[in-house]
């Protein structure tokens, strides 16, 4: 009966190991070496257990000769004991490798090897003293020091799982469960063997654990970037987080490659990928003391190994020299301009979350394009904190009705009348106060809430336009800011037209404010929406002209009726001849294109006088009117109507 049991056990073990090997053939990861050692240890222990069972069954069946007793039963049991404790030690090593916990101290070496030495010493004394096992009357018996052997195995298991629990915040849930499952299987095997000393099931349970560990932990997408072969962002943040939690020194260099989007469009995505592959190979071979990670298409991080004598200055100089030379392709020689940042812990960061925020901000190339070195201390983490807080507010903005709709009257310089108004859907925050669309629209586009938010804004604004009673008589234009993401929808124009019709709003009184970023994202769907809305009677205003990207050809195709001058440029114009020249040239060009000019940010009578003198058609700012609620706007207009019998609204 025992022989049949162990034959079945051997068959199950072989199947599990073959499956594991099949999985291994498709994977090539950093943890493979230790895992293969662990797999071989389990296999050898299983073989030793199997031959030991054959020998014991042979003795029970009457073949009690020297070869059976010593050659099979004794030697195979010795091999089983030797590799069974090795499996526990290798599991401990495997956990350290997966979590990137390096042995850099004497205490680490003692923790790793001293228990194994104790176990092997007791095992070596077994032939003379029967410390772990002995045979009497053809039967197998446990020695009095067997507890030492199992205590060592328990020690490795306990310390390994202690690491897993300690760093559980830095690993996936499936990884945590896989590691903890080892403890469950070990306990089951120990209980079964305690109930029956001849019931040798440890190898069976260990094989199952190895299979689970390999399949659920070492998937290629978890650690490796498939395009470059480098470790990915998940691997980097796990490794860096473990060092930070252990109070170890973290030194790293982040490298941002510019012009990636431009290269994709100009020389092709595949050619650019080839350049990035070449850059990845350079980073990988840069230094044996540096581990390279690829966090994004054009973002790499080089983590300097703990205790390495390599300095970040040497690394950054090597990177700068390489990227000063062109990267060759079949048809072009491309310059990949580099931008690098050195980060150390605890000088620049406090915890893992702050590290992620720092790298995320650095990855935004628009803030430091073409700079060779960015100081970590120059990055405003508080600004990122504000962005993350706004991001959280946006997800609940509609359901919580947290929009505070404000309205700001606009003055026409030709008539002196307040005959236009800009609708400002603000978000009110106890921490940051009133947040304007110009700030939260880009965040809403990133987190996917822009479309439902602008639909809610349109409905509220159209309802106010219809119910206020000001249209045509007092107000000839309502300006509504629109995020780019909405106009990129193919159904945007039809939805706006249907909503305006449902609320009885004449499109001729509505101007949609769009940002200069709309030009960057200009595509067929956006062009069709702008054309359809223009033909339906809606007008368009380009906001913040003079700041960032401007394409004159696109301006003609966008059916613009107005542009709003950049307020920073406008405010400096009265004091700067160059700024004044830019403003006057912009106004003259727009006049020639029959495009009206709005001057926003008017906060003083002097600036109002200057804007009117250069030819601005409309004036807007706190010097003329603050933000008003819907009721206050109606009152504002009524007071001017009543104060001027002829209807002049000054």
pLDDT (0 to 100) of residue 510: 92
- Which residue is associated with the tokens 């070869």? 67
Confidence of residue 650 (pLDDT cuts 50, 70, 90): very low
At residue 68, the pLDDT reads 65
Residue (of 247, 226, 365, 199) closest to 298 by Cα position = 365
The answer, yes or no, to whether residue 388 has pLDDT greater than 60, is yes
What are the φ and ψ backbone dihedral angles of 362, each rounded to 5 degrees? -60, -35
Structure confidence at residue 649 (pLDDT): 40
Tokens found for residue 604 = 């003083």
pLDDT computed for residue 227 by the predictor: 76
Residue 628, classed as helix, strand or coil, is: strand
pLDDT of residue 262: 67
Please give the sequence-ordered ranges of beta strands (E in DSSP) within 54-126, or none if there are none: none
Amino acid 169: pLDDT: 63
Q: Span 393-421, mean pLDDT?
A: 82
**CA distances in angstroms from 370 to 275, 359, 442, 486, 494, listed in the order given:** 18, 17, 23, 31, 42
Does residue 646 have a pLDDT over 60?
Answer: no
* Mean pLDDT (the chain, rounded): 77
pLDDT above 70 covers what percent of the chain? Answer: 74
Directed axis angle between helix 492-502 and helix 524-536, to 10°? 30
- As given in the structure block, the two tokens for residue 39 are 């797999």
Query: What pLDDT does 501 receive?
Result: 92
- CA 577, 583, 585, 587 torsion-angle sign: negative
Q: Which two tokens stand for residue 196?
A: 């029956």
pLDDT band of residue 17 (cuts 50, 70, 90) is low
Domains, the chain, ranges and CATH? Answer: 2-219 (1.20.1070), 224-379 (3.30.70.270), 406-643 (3.20.20.450)
Over residues 68-100, the pLDDT tens digits come to 666 666 777 778 778 878 888 888 888 877 776
Q: Are 594 and 563 in contact (CB under 8 A)?
A: no
- Indicate if the pLDDT at residue 374 is higher than 60: yes
For residue 592, give every residue at least 6 positions away whose Cβ sits within 8 Å of its Cβ, in sequence order, or none.
none
Q: Over 70: is that where the pLDDT of 14 sits?
A: no
User: Measuring CA to CA, which residue among 546, 536, 548 is closest to residue 512?
Assistant: 536
Label each residue of 308-331 as H, E or C. Answer: CCCCHHHHHHHHHHHHHCCEECCC
Residue 1, pLDDT score: 42
User: Sign (positive/negative) of CA torsion 343, 375, 368, 384?
Assistant: positive
Q: Is the pLDDT of residue 304 over 60?
A: yes
Mean local confidence (pLDDT), 204-226? 63
The mean pLDDT value for 381-402 works out to: 71
pLDDT tens, residue by residue, 106-141: 777 788 888 888 888 888 887 777 777 776 665 667
Helices and strands counted in the chain (H then E): 26, 18
Question: What does the pLDDT read at residue 5?
Answer: 39
How sure is the predictor about 218, in pLDDT bands with cuts at 50, 70 and 90?
low
Average pLDDT over residues 177-204: 68
299-304: strand order across its sheet: 290-296, 299-304, 250-257, 338-345, 373-375
Residue at token pair 């400002």 = 424
Comparing 547 with 357, the larger pLDDT belongs to 357
Q: Does pTM surpass 0.85?
A: no
Q: Give the pair of three-digit tokens for residue 414.
A: 């030709």
Q: Please give the share of the chain, as a percent, with pLDDT higher than 90.
A: 5
Q: Is the pLDDT of residue 512 over 80?
A: yes
Can you read off the two tokens belonging to residue 490? 């193919």
In sequence order, the 6+-apart residues with CB closer than 8 A to the CB of 170 are 99, 237, 238, 241, 242, 245, 352
> Residue 628: is its pLDDT beyond 60?
yes
- pLDDT of residue 584 exceeding 70, the answer is yes
Given a cut of 80, whether residue 614 has pLDDT beyond it is: yes
Tell me how far apart the alpha carbons of residues 96 and 103 are, in angstroms, rounded to a whole number: 9
20 and 210 Cβ atoms separated by less than 8 Å:
yes
How many whole angstroms separate alpha carbon 175 and alpha carbon 191?
A: 25
Q: What is the pLDDT of residues 413-456, one digit of tens each?
A: 888 888 899 998 888 877 777 888 887 887 777 677 788 888 88
**477 has pLDDT over 80:** yes
The DSSP result for 59-72, as a single string, is HHTT---HIIIIII
Which of the 8 DSSP states describes residue 372? S
The CA radius of gyration of the chain, in Å to the nearest whole number, is 36
394 near 444, Cβ under 8 Å?
yes
pLDDT in tens, 516-527: 666 555 566 777
Which pLDDT score, from 0 to 100, does residue 322 have?
86
Question: Most distant CA pair in the chain: distance in Å?
Answer: 126
Q: Mean of the pLDDT values across residues 364-387?
A: 65
Rounded-to-integer distance, Cα 553 and Cα 568, Å = 25
């Amino acid at each position: 009966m025992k022989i049949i049991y162990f034959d079945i056990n051997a068959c199950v073990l072989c199947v599990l190991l073959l499956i594991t090997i099949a999985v291994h053939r498709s994977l090539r990861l950093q943890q493979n070496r230790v895992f293969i050692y662990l797999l071989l240890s389990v296999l050898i222990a299983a073989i030793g257990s199997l031959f030991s069972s054959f020998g014991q069954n042979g003795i029970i069946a009457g073949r009690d000769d020297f070869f059976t007793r010593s050659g099979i039963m004794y030697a195979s049991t010795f091999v089983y004991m030797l590799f069974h404790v090795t499996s526990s030690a290798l599991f401990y090593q495997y956990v350290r490798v997966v979590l990137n916990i390096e042995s850099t101290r004497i205490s680490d070496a003692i923790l790793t090897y001293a228990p194994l030495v104790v176990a092997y010493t007791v095992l070596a004394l077994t032939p003379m003293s029967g410390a772990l096992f002995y045979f009497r009357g053809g039967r197998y018996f446990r020695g009095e020091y067997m507890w030492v052997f199992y205590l060592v195995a328990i020690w490795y298991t306990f310390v390994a799982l202690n690491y897993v629990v300690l760093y559980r915040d830095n690993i996936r849930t499936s990884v945590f469960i896989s590691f903890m499952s080892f403890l469950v299987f070990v306990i089951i095997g120990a209980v079964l063997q305690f109930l029956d000393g001849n019931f040798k099931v440890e190898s069976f349970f260990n094989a199952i654990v190895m299979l689970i560990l390999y399949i659920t932990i070492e998937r290629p997408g978890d650690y490796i970037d498939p395009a470059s072969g480098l470790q990915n962002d998940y691997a980097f943040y796990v490794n860096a987080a473990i060092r930070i939690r252990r109070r170890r020194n973290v030194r790293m260099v982040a490298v941002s490659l510019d012009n990636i989007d431009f290269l994709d469009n100009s020389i092709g995505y595949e050619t650019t990928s080839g350049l990035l592959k070449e850059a990845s190979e350079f980073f990988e071979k840069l230094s044996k003391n540096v581990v390279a990670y690829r966090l994004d298409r054009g973002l790499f991080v080089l983590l300097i190994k703990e205790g390495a004598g390599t300095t970040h200055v040497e690394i950054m100089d090597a990177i700068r020299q390489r990227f000063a030379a062109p990267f060759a392709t079949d048809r072009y020689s491309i310059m990949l301009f580099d931008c690098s940042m050195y980060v150390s812990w605890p000088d620049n960061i406090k915890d893992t979350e702050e590290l992620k925020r720092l790298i995320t901000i650095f990855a935004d190339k628009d803030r430091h394009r073409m700079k060779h070195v960015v100081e970590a201390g120059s990055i405003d983490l508080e600004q990122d904190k504000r962005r993350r807080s706004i991001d959280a507010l946006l997800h609940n903005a509609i359901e919580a009705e947290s929009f505070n709709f404000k309205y700001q009257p606009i003055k026409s310089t030709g008539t002196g009348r307040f005959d236009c108004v800009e609708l400002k859907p603000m978000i009110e925050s106890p921490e940051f106060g009133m947040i304007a669309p110009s700030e939260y629209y880009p965040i809403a586009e990133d987190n996917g809430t822009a479309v439902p938010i602008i639909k809610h804004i349109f409905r509220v604004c159209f309802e106010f336009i219809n119910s206020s009673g000001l249209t045509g008589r007092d107000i000839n234009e309502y300006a509504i800011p629109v995020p780019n993401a909405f106009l990129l929808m193919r159904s945007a124009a039809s939805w706006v037209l249907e909503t305006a019709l449902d609320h009885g709003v004449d499109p001729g009184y509505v101007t949609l404010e769009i940002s200069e970023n709309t030009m960057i994202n200009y595509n067929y769907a956006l062009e069709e929406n702008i054309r359809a809305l223009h033909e339906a009677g809606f007008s368009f205003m380009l906001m913040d002209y003079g700041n960032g990207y401007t394409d004159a050809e696109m301006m003609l195709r966008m059916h613009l009726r107005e542009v709003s001058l950049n307020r920073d440029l406008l405010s400096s114009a009265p004091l700067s001849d160059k700024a004044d020249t830019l403003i006057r040239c912009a106004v003259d060009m727009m006049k020639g294109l029959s495009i009206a000019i709005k001057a926003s940010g008017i906060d003083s009578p002097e600036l109002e006088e200057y804007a009117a003198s250069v030819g601005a058609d409309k004036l807007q700012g706190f010097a003329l009117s603050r933000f008003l609620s819907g009721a206050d706007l109606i009152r504002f207009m009524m007071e001017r109507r009543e104060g001027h019998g002829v209807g002049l609204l000054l």
